[in-house]
Amino acid sequence: MKGLILAAGRGSRLLPLSATRPKHAVPVAGVPIIVRAVQALRQAGVQDIGIVTSPSSEQDLRDATQHSGHLTFIRQYDPLGTGHAVLTARHFLEGSSTLLYLGDNLFEDALTPLISALRYGDAAIGVKEVTNPQAFGVAVVRAGRLLRLVEKPRTPESNLAACGVFTFKPVLIDVLEDLPHSTRGEIEFPQALTQLLTQGGQVRAVEFKGFWSDAGSPEDLLSANTHYLSHLTPCQDGRVERSTVTGPVVIEAGAVVEDSVLQGPVWIGPHAVVRGATLGPFVSVGAHARVDSAQVTVSLIDEFARILHPARPIHRSLIGRHALVTAPSDTGLQMVIGDRSVMRM
């Protein structure tokens, strides 16, 4: 079996974080989303993994996965949908069964049941019970078999969301190749499952019980960051002086924490500097970031960001790479706000 991760999109709902890199490269509790995707496939026993990228996102994804072993990068030059992305990779797949992973998803559950389910059908889909099924593609399932998929229905027939991971046999590639474009002008992978059912094929449904997120919005990203931070194993490889550390805290090698209070879960990345700050719970500080005289809770601070003596506590915030958050000057507030930014004062 081969693994295929779709990661060609930028992620408009995560702007401005995704303005300069694909959302799949954004870190969650210190680990890029794309790396967590690769880990999930490898833990399921899938070692030969391809990643579908756009020309503009490929280098960022290569950089993010540089320590993830051998990966095959496949360019999708035109953004023509998830089905088109799979077809772009058909030479890589070489007629093998495939574990398909939409690259912005995060799963707590193992993916091995999807592989096992493929023994009883032509394809399998992961589903998850949600409280707002009208916001998702909804799977109608009976006795472990998919009956149909309905995209964002006003009146959902079930509360099972299709959650971005599939297995399929080579026959599905043939279905995709014959599939017409949707009203959006795209080849949509879920429509291939619908067509397969129409042709008499069988699609199994595997329900996940653990945490799942598509990390598509700032709130989703913060929730995912909180989830993974809550599973930290404490470790202090960096330097800690005159500070109080409680709860699960990871301080990576090269990081410096001085005159601070860390209330875990907190993750401090390599070579980050924290001085005179109160951090936590649920805070991640990226590599080479600097936090001086700040109070931060439930936030994601990315690499090389600087938080310098802000006048107010920081809560439930996403602070991107190389960003600066600091106190007002003598002349008052100064704002340099880029496209699609959010500021609540």
Query: Residues 6 or more apart from 142 whose CB is under 8 A from it?
Result: none
pLDDT for the residue 98:
98
The domains of the chain are located at 2-227, 232-326
Superfamily of domain 2-227: Spore Coat Polysaccharide Biosynthesis Protein SpsA; Chain A (3.90.550.10)
Rounded to a whole number of angstroms, the distance between the first and last alpha carbons of the chain is 51
Cβ atoms 8, 88 nearer than 8 A: no
pLDDT for the residue 21:
85
Spell out, as residue ranges, where the chain has pLDDT lower than 50: none
CA distance 188 to 282: 37
Nearest to 240 by CA among 199, 274, 215, 204: 274
* Assigned CATH for 232-326: 2.160.10
Q: ∠ at Cα 262 (284, 65), nearest 5°?
A: 25
pLDDT for the residue 207:
96
pLDDT for the residue 217:
85
Cβ atoms 89, 74 nearer than 8 A: yes
pLDDT for the residue 328:
84
pLDDT for the residue 339:
63
Q: Which amino acid is at 178?
A: D
pLDDT for the residue 310:
93
Question: In the chain, which residue ranges form alpha helices assigned H by DSSP?
Answer: 33-43, 58-64, 82-88, 90-93, 112-117, 171-177, 189-198, 218-229
Cβ atoms 157, 150 nearer than 8 A: yes
Examine residue 265 and say whether the peptide bond preceding it is cis (omega within 30 degrees of 0).
yes
